[in-house]
Structure 1
Amino acid sequence: MSDPTPTVAVFRPDDERRSEAASLLESLGVEPVPDPMLAVESTGEVPRTDADYAIFTSKTAADLLAETDWDPGESTVVAIGPATADALEAVGYEVDVVPEEYTSSGLVAHLGESADVDLDGARVEVARSDHGSQVLLDGLEAAGAYLHETILYRLVRPDGSGESAELAAEGGLDAACFTSSLTVEHFLEAAEERGIREEALSGLEGTLVGVIGEPTAETAGERGVPVDFVSSEATFEALATETVARLFGDDVE
């Protein structure tokens, strides 16, 4: 009798990202357990138009901009990574800057080291969710920028989330892919809501846990979630591919 197909929990929002994540994992030979831990609530706010630099940190921000008449004017448009850049360009915005490292700290470092960027005294607009990293704001302020933050959307936990916590508590989960600190927090909230927090945490001890970014790893560690590795790139594709490679005992470069 053949071994059962490994199960991998993913926490992408319940939109095309959920189906894309599931399709990717299936193509890699595992059984996805889609359990959305994030839902988007738009605030209706629009970024300022008088900034020298306009920074966007997610594909969701681009999707929301498409529903507005925001015009970047003379602003230099900055995307935290290629997925965000592609989404911005898909809705008609030209992206000028994408860092090599797709994280808040990587973005700050890239802007600070670029000969074409001078943040000292520059007006910088940061448009993102209500759970954006403080690292980005602190780094920009330290570089001398005048900051304005626009909260485009709030991230909340969807009703009914927690299937993966149930599976972890039962010992039926082989791996979990956490893409942000908030997915860790919401996973544990869902487990608590179902009365199985300790059982779910115990189940994760025997589960391969991969995360995107050191901040997510730190959040997980602080809350008792064991982390086996941080993906080499801050993308879901890298996280998923490296998770499956480890499950099957393959080398990960």
Structure 2
Amino acid sequence: MSRIAFFRPDDERAASAASFVRELGYEPLSDPMLAVEPTGETPRSDADYTVFTSKTGAELVADAGWRAGGAVVAIGTPTAGALEATGYAVDRLPGEFSSSGLVDELAPDAPGATVEVARSDHGSAVLLEGLNDAGAYVHETVLYRLVRPEGAGRSAEAAARGELAGACFTSSLTLEHFLAAAAERGVRGAAIEGLNDAIVGAIGEPTEATAESAGVAVDVVPETATFEALAEAVTERL
């Protein structure tokens, strides 16, 4: 059975991804490239808008008992679903699941508004700069750090040996960590060659740009920014 690598965190997301890949008729290769280190910080509660960019952030603030003082904004349906599952009402959800899409969504209401952005330490500057330029007063709270787990890199070795039919990259950081793990094992060049012989999927244009700049050719970018849509796009191309 052909193998498809993915890099979801080592929790229910990796287990769900493995099951989904099997349902698509492929052998899953789970190689988590991100681990969460909570900072213990919580967002301001007096902002007009509080923006969440990930399911992880939603779960962390719920565990901390944070209360929203204004409108809650989510980037992407997985984030919105996690917020609602933990008891928060989602007031705004941009049509485009990206930082620029959220800036477009809030721009008409931004002048003079206070916007709290609650996310990881690897958030895009596009969101903060765009909201500032639109006239908002922006504050960022880093809820967690994203680090590469010890021992990550099985997928890089598999790619270097030509054993991957496909790979699903769900963020720029997972791609960067994949390449760093490959370099530590002395197989970066061979791993890139292996990816370029496989079908590579990127969840969105920023991830695609990161891959292309590293010499990794991206074959598919799904219309919807979810793992399921990404895996389906990769397997359909295969």
Which secondary structure does the structure 1 equivalent of 2:177 belong to?
helix
Identical counterparts, % of pairs = 63
Picking from 55, 59, 64, the partner of 2:55 is 59
Match of 1:104 in 2: 99
What amino acid sits opposite 1:170 in the alignment? Answer: R
Aligned 8 A contact 2:72 2:89 in 1? yes
**Is the aligned partner of 1:130 residue 2:121?**
yes
**C-alpha separation between the residues in 2 aligned to 1:184 and 1:207?**
15
Q: TM-score of the superposition, structure 2-length normalised? A: 0.97
Pairwise CA distance, 1:82:
1.2
Residue among 154, 161, 172 paired with 2:163: 172
- Secondary structure of the 1:66 match is helix
State the 1:156 CA deviation.
Answer: 0.2
Q: Does residue 1:77 correspond to 2:72, yes or no?
A: yes
- Any stretches of 5+ residues in structure 2 without a counterpart? none
The C-alpha deviation readout for 1:117-150, integer Å capped at 9, x for no partner, is 5111100000000001111112111211100000
2:220·2:233 contact (CA, 8 Å) conserved in 1?
no
Does the aligned pair in 2 maintain the 1:127–1:150 contact within 8 Å? yes
User: Corresponding residue for 2:110?
Assistant: 119
Q: How many residues align?
A: 238
Q: Which residue matches 2:88? A: 93
Partner deviation per Cα, 1:96-129 (whole Å, 9 max, x = no partner): 11111111111112223xxxx5111100000000
RMSD (CA atoms) = 1.0
| Alignment match of 1:158 (pick from 140, 149, 166) | 149
- 2:232 aligned to which of 216, 235, 241: 241
CA distance in 2, matches of 1:49, 1:110: 21
CA distance in 2, matches of 1:189, 1:137: 28
Q: Which amino acid aligns with 1:205?
A: N
The Cα offsets for residues 21-80 of structure 1, whole Å up to 9 and x where unpaired, read as 11111111111110000000000000001100000000000111122121112x100010
Alignment partner, residue 46 of structure 1: 42
Residues 63-72 or 44-53, more deviating: 63-72
The runs of 5 or more residues in structure 1 that have no matched partner are 248-253
Aligned counterpart for 1:229 among listed residues 215, 220, 223: 220
- Structure 1's consecutive aligned runs of 4 or more residues displaced over 4 angstroms after TM superposition are none
- Is 1:203–2:194 an aligned residue pair? yes
* 2:9 pairs with 1:13: yes
